[in-house]
Amino acid sequence: MRKDIITSILALVSIVFLVALGIFYIQEGSFEGAGARMDSVLTDLPDNAARAANETAETANEVIEDIADGPDDKPG
């Protein structure tokens, strides 16, 4: 059972890699350009992921603060 899960994950990662390489190959016109583009994308990935995580955390914090403040409508 555990071996099937690991094999499935590896197969999925391999397929995603090959599809991305194929798309970059079509856009760049060569495997050299596709590899350079993949390197560029993978280099930027940690920064982009960190930025997205920070924005999500800030938005969640704002929502929590809004909920804690109560409704904005004042009865009157």
Q: What is the per-residue pLDDT across 16-32, written as a single tens digit (0 to 9) for each?
A: 989 988 998 999 889 89
Check: pTM over 0.75? Answer yes or no. no
pLDDT in tens, 35-56: 898 898 889 999 999 999 999 9
Residue entry with tokens 């560029």? 40
Tell me how far apart the alpha carbons of residues 44 and 36 are, in angstroms, rounded to a whole number: 13
Tell me how many degrees the CA angle 20-24-28 measures, rounded to the nearest 5. 175
Query: What are the structure tokens assigned to 31, written together?
Result: 């495997």
DSSP 8-state assignment for residue 11: H
